[in-house]
Amino acid sequence: MLKLTYMVLILATLPNVALGGPTNIRLGYEFAWGENIGWTNWRDANGGDEGVRVETTFLSGFIWAENVGWINVGDGSPVDGVRYANVDGLDSGVNIDDATGDLFGLAWGENIGWLNFDTRVALRAYGQQARLDFASGRFHGYVWAENAGWLNLDDATHFVACVPPPVIITWASMKEHDTGNWLAIPLDPHATNDVVAVESRADGIEVIDVTVRASAPFAVTDPVLAVDANNPGLTYPANLSPAVIDNGDDTWTVMLEWSPSLPDLKCYVIDLAGCIPDLVGDTDCMVRGVKGDVSGNGITDMGDVANLKNANEQSWHSTNWPQYDVTCNGGLIEMGDLVQSKTWGEQVPFPQASCP
Ligand SMILES: [Ca+2]
Ligand SMILES: [Ca+2]
Ligand SMILES: [Ca+2]
């Protein structure tokens, strides 16, 4: 209790900083050991209001070190909005490489000067560079303080971890083949142009399942729209019913449903940024609907007919090749699929959709 009071008093001397919000360091996972500075507390500055906050590409807030006072990891306002430049004290702080989780950049200790979080050159060979594991939210590795030696983020018992923000794991266009047999065509959220996945099955895009990993339940707070990628004025709001399904393993499925289905022969972009609080990572995904385009190249032509004919002869099952079961009758690839794609493939000009 004494210690806490002392911390609050000391905080009165902190400079005013613009922080992104209260700490998101987890209770019980706030301590790391410095070889010359003792325990550091990443969470409790000013009752948590100014503790360390982990954002997508940087940290903000203050660490309290019992023997050397405050350590500032950044003010939460990088000049470019993304990362601290660390070319002068005005725009300094600790950054996160959002591809690898590696930390880099500088923190400032009021009594010990700079702490260098970029230990990639010295320690990567040993797998001990300072870094954040996105899945668990925990920090690993070592930080170097020029006047205070190593700060250990890698202790098996006392380590620092944040509440990891929700992140999208998978996207898929779903169809019910026969009754109760839902099959997925996976979508790549990074894809653009002519490699964007195609929903080839009858009745076009009806259900998109988005799997989100999160440490706590969440709500979809804003309407989710499918936007015509080539005509952004055209939008189609999704129904959410049920909104979010708990898969029981820290993942949830957000089921987006359109009824009637999205018009065929268009490219859509669906962006969940702003719809799920604190969602990070690649939040938008494109998908196009081109009935009968079993090859997924964005155009239904005689090539698809040939493809289906081949699949028919080889008796590939639709579980493995859902895009081939154009009729969604759940059986093997059969005559109905061929007829449907042939009907479409004979139209001139060939039915197609392209994405920007
Ligand atoms: Ca994307
Ligand atoms: Ca095709
Ligand atoms: Ca079929």
10-residue averages of pLDDT along the chain (356 residues):
37 47 91 96 95 93 96 96 93 93 97 97 97 90 96 96 88 93 95 97 96 89 96 96 84 95 97 90 93 95 90 71 89 82 88 95
**Predicted pLDDT at 271:** 97
**Predicted pLDDT at 13:** 47
Question: How many folded domains does the chain comprise?
Answer: 2
**Secondary structure of residue 28 in the 3-state scheme:** coil
User: Does 125 lie in the same domain as 206?
Assistant: no
Is residue 354 in some structural domain?
A: no
User: Does 78 lie in the same domain as 47?
Assistant: yes
Residue 353 Cα to ligand 2 midpoint, Å, equals 11
**Predicted pLDDT at 298:** 96
Looking at the CA of 295, which ligand is closest? Answer: 2
Q: Which two tokens stand for residue 280?
A: 């990070």
**Predicted pLDDT at 12:** 37
The answer to whether the pTM exceeds 0.85 is no
Looking at the CA of 178, which ligand is closest? Answer: 3
Measured between alpha carbons, how far is 199 from 181 in angstroms, rounded to an integer? Answer: 17
User: Does 41 lie in the same domain as 92?
Assistant: yes
Residue 228 Cα to ligand 1 midpoint, Å, equals 15
Q: How large is the greatest C-alpha to C-alpha distance in the chain, in angstroms?
A: 82
Residue 125 makes CB contacts below 8 A (sequence gap 6+) with none
User: Does 194 lie in the same domain as 130?
Assistant: no
Calculate the CA 139 to chain-centre distance.
Answer: 18
Given CA atoms 3, 4, 6, 11 in this order, what sign does their dihedral have? positive
User: Does 203 lie in the same domain as 226?
Assistant: yes
Residue 259 Cα to ligand 3 midpoint, Å, equals 22
User: Does 309 lie in the same domain as 174?
Assistant: yes
Looking at the CA of 345, which ligand is closest? Answer: 2
Q: In what order do the strands lie in the sheet with 244-246?
A: 182-187, 167-176, 207-213, 251-257, 244-246
Is residue 291 in some structural domain?
A: yes
Is residue 257 in some structural domain?
A: yes
Domain-ending residue, one of 93, 128, 152 = 152
Residue 284 Cα to ligand 1 midpoint, Å, equals 4
**Predicted pLDDT at 239:** 93
Looking at the CA of 271, which ligand is closest? Answer: 1
Residue 208 Cα to ligand 1 midpoint, Å, equals 15
Is residue 351 in some structural domain?
A: no
User: Does 62 lie in the same domain as 104?
Assistant: yes
Is residue 138 in some structural domain?
A: yes
**Predicted pLDDT at 333:** 79
Residue 345 Cα to ligand 2 midpoint, Å, equals 9
Looking at the CA of 351, which ligand is closest? Answer: 2
Q: Which two tokens stand for residue 342?
A: 């042939």
Looking at the CA of 304, which ligand is closest? Answer: 2
Looking at the CA of 307, which ligand is closest? Answer: 2
User: Does 304 lie in the same domain as 176?
Assistant: yes
**Predicted pLDDT at 331:** 67
Domain-ending residue, one of 152, 183, 198 = 152
**Predicted pLDDT at 2:** 33
Looking at the CA of 352, which ligand is closest? Answer: 2
User: Does 119 lie in the same domain as 196?
Assistant: no
Residue 227 Cα to ligand 2 midpoint, Å, equals 23
Contact 146, 156 (CB under 8 A): no
300: left (phi over 0), alpha (psi -120 to 50) or beta: beta
Residue 270 Cα to ligand 1 midpoint, Å, equals 9
Looking at the CA of 190, which ligand is closest? Answer: 1
Residue 187 Cα to ligand 2 midpoint, Å, equals 17
User: Does 307 lie in the same domain as 207?
Assistant: yes
Looking at the CA of 333, which ligand is closest? Answer: 3
Residue 321's domain comprises 167-345
Q: What are the CA-CA distances from residue 321 to residues 170, 315, 316 (Å)?
A: 18, 11, 7
Residue 211 Cα to ligand 3 midpoint, Å, equals 27
**Predicted pLDDT at 252:** 95
275: left (phi over 0), alpha (psi -120 to 50) or beta: alpha
Is residue 160 in some structural domain?
A: no
Is residue 162 in some structural domain?
A: no
Burial zone of 114 (CB within 10 Å; 0-12 exposed, 13-18 middle, 19+ buried): middle
Is residue 356 in some structural domain?
A: no
Residue 190 Cα to ligand 1 midpoint, Å, equals 4
Contact 152, 16 (CB under 8 A): no
**Predicted pLDDT at 20:** 61
Pick from 257, 263, 199: which is nearest to 230 by CA? Answer: 263
User: Does 188 lie in the same domain as 125?
Assistant: no
Residue 283 Cα to ligand 1 midpoint, Å, equals 6
Looking at the CA of 296, which ligand is closest? Answer: 2
Q: Which residues pair with 39 in a beta bridge?
A: 33
How, if at all, do strands 284-289 and 198-199 pair?
A: parallel
Measured between alpha carbons, how far is 285 from 211 in angstroms, rounded to an integer? Answer: 13
Looking at the CA of 192, which ligand is closest? Answer: 1
User: Does 173 lie in the same domain as 42?
Assistant: no
